[in-house]
Amino acid sequence: MTATITPTPSERLLGGRVVVTGGTRGIGESIVRAFLAEGADVVFCGRSDSAEAAALVATGHATFIAVDLADVAAASDLVDAASKILGGIDVLVHCAAIFPASRIESQPLSDWQAALQVNLTSGMQLVQSALPHLVHSSNPRIVMVSSITGPKTALPELSAYAASKAGLEGFVRAAAMELAPQGITVNAVSPGTILTAALANGFGPEGVALAIQKIPAQRIGDPQDVANAILFFALPASSYITGQSLIVDGGQTLVELF
């Protein structure tokens, strides 16, 4: 009898070709690290280099490309460069996002348009550009990083961000229906409050402590929590799941005032 060999976690995406936007810090950096740990080769982008990006490149299985997705041509340029570096694309993860804050009555149209371009429109452009490569993959996956802000909750002064994320989830559902016959799954992951360096600096110790009190899990999410969910949607085992949005928030959106 031949023994059954169960792959270790580091072999589950061995040789997988992955593209991640917004991968230089925070949640995006954790996503890149998660794929590298599973044996994938990753091309990731950001508007500028960082110490975190250099450390990822130093692994020998990651390539950084400086890209500003506010440029309408950037998404297709990124996909073209990544496909040449990787020899194809199996997984596309769109994590890049901006969140200009202003009240509606004083919100510059340029801020609104920039948020929609980076957070939403570039997601469509990335998918459109990656499709010719994904159709040749044996494990084609698209995962969008959404948010609970917009689809589920709201924050004042973040109307552009909220609109872009709500739109992103609508796009995910429509794209999932269109691409399912080709075996391509399209899903979203919607983080709640995640303890990135930017959030820690913005909230401060007192703000972080207050946030913890409002989350049923009694902790703020770690970027790795989001990366784990992204990885789940990228694995072959999730091939029958598409058009879904997985909330990763420790129960944050379950709280009801009483």
- Active site positions, annotated: 161
In Å, how far are 87, 131, 182, 221 from 208, measured between CA atoms? 43, 41, 44, 11
Count the Cβ atoms, other than its own, within 10 Å of residue 186. 25
Question: Distance (Å, rounded) from C-alpha 98 to C-alpha 116?
Answer: 9
Taking alpha carbons only, the member of 208, 43, 10 closest to residue 126 is: 43
Tokens standing for residue 251: 């129960």
DSSP 218: S
Written as one string, the DSSP assignment of 18-44 is EEEES-SSHHHHHHHHHHHHTT-EEEE
Tokens standing for residue 244: 């879904």
